[in-house]
């Protein structure tokens, strides 16, 4: 499982680099000199501060999309990581992905456990639109700070829409993490057990959680719109059984966001 996750991450990173090299020519061909329009989605969201957190913290709900005038905005799930397609071929798309996880300190979690610093995860994604109404996406990311491990996600979305006037999506989510990821958030070393009072626990990598996400966007006029989403994840396996989760955190990991959207550049 974990070796496969690393392999996916390396493959997606390589695809993203290749896409970055090919992107300028591709973008020029795709644009064809046509006028572009841009949609910005901005608002607040509530989400767990780190994997297994009991409390929710507020953060930004942000998305920026660009398309040619006369073309529908490409579907993007509200909970997917930052990044966009650099290579598109038919139903397939590849590109970079970037994600962030807030720091976890002993004071934050309420026990004398090692700090996990603010995490920046960088990697890539691959997705395929099996039909206009069904998309499957895989992400693999390496932490450049914080937990220092590999993380990933497999998602699928059913999409219903009326052009850009309204769009509804819903689908399952499976999150993954390697041994470093799991040890950082769910493991308890003998030293940490002595200082925190928790039982020693060795958390193995694998599937971290399973869940579902639903999102909705509706235009309120020619320029303005509103977007909302909700997500619920349930920790499973070693992440769910960890004494950190059972005594200090929560297996339930909900997220919710609401935002305004504004479209400019060209006509809708």
CATH number reported for the structural domain that contains residue 143 in this entry: 2.40.160
Question: How far is Cα 123 from Cα 117, in angstroms, rounded to an integer?
Answer: 19
Residues 116, 146 contacting (CB under 8 angstroms) = yes
pLDDT of 14 above 60: no
Mean pLDDT value across the chain:
89
pLDDT of 25 above 50: no
Q: Which of 32-36, 163-167, 233-237 has the lowest mean pLDDT?
A: 32-36
pLDDT of residue 80: 94
* Residue 204, token pair as written in the block: 């193995």
Helix %, strand %, coil % of the chain (to 5): 20, 50, 30
Number of domains in the chain: 1
Question: How far is Cα 136 from Cα 130, in angstroms, rounded to an integer?
Answer: 7
Q: Show Cβ contacts of residue 213 under 8 Å, excluding neighbours closer than 6 positions.
A: 77, 78, 79, 155, 157, 169, 170, 171, 173, 229, 230, 231
pLDDT of 7 above 60: no
pLDDT of residue 20: 38
Average pLDDT over residues 94-113: 95
Average pLDDT over residues 110-129: 97
For the segment 150-202, what is each residue's pLDDT rounded down to a tens digit? 999 999 999 999 999 999 999 999 999 999 999 999 999 999 999 999 999 99
> With bands split at pLDDT 50, 70 and 90, how would you rate the model's confidence at 266?
confident
pLDDT of residue 267: 54
Q: Which structural domain, as residue segments, surrounds residue 166?
A: 2-29+36-264
Q: Between 11 and 194, whose confidence is greater?
A: 194
pLDDT of 231 above 50: yes
pLDDT of 1 above 60: no
pLDDT of 21 above 70: no
> With bands split at pLDDT 50, 70 and 90, how would you rate the model's confidence at 70?
confident
pLDDT of residue 30: 41
Q: Which of 71-85, 148-162, 240-254 has the lowest mean pLDDT?
A: 71-85
CA distances from 178 to 47, 69, 118, 120 (A): 22, 43, 18, 16
Highest mean pLDDT, choosing among 16-20, 21-25, 37-41, 83-87 = 37-41
User: pTM for the whole thing?
Assistant: 0.84
Q: DSSP H helical segments within 68-215, as ranges? A: 106-109, 179-186, 190-196
């Amino acid at each position: 499982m974990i070796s496969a996750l690393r392999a996916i991450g390396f493959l997606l990173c390589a695809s993203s680099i290749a896409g970055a090299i090919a992107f300028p020519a591709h973008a020029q061909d795709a644009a064809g000199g046509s006028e572009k329009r841009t949609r910005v989605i901005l608002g607040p969201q509530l989400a767990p501060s780190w994997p297994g957190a009991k409390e929710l913290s507020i953060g930004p709900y942000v998305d920026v999309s660009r398309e040619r005038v006369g073309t529908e905005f490409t579907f993007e799930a509200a909970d997917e990581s930052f990044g966009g397609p650099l290579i598109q071929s038919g139903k397939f798309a590849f590109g970079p992905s970037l994600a962030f996880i807030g720091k976890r300190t002993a004071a934050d979690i309420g026990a004398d456990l090692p700090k996990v610093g603010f995490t920046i995860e960088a990697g890539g994604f691959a997705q395929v639109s099996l039909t206009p109404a069904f998309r499957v996406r895989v992400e693999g990311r390496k932490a450049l700070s914080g937990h220092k491990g590999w993380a990933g996600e497999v998602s699928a979305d059913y999409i219903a829409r009326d052009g850009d006037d309204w769009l509804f999506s819903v689908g399952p989510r499976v999150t993954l993490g390697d041994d470093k990821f799991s040890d950082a958030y769910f493991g308890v070393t003998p030293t940490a057990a002595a200082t925190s009072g928790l039982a020693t626990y060795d958390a193995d990598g694998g599937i971290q959680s399973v869940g579902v996400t639903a999102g909705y966007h509706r235009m309120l006029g020619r320029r303005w719109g509103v977007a909302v989403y909700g997500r619920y994840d349930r920790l499973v396996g070693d992440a769910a059984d960890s004494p950190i989760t059972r005594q200090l955190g929560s297996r339930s990991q909900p997220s919710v966001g609401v935002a305004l959207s504004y479209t400019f550049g060209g006509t809708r």
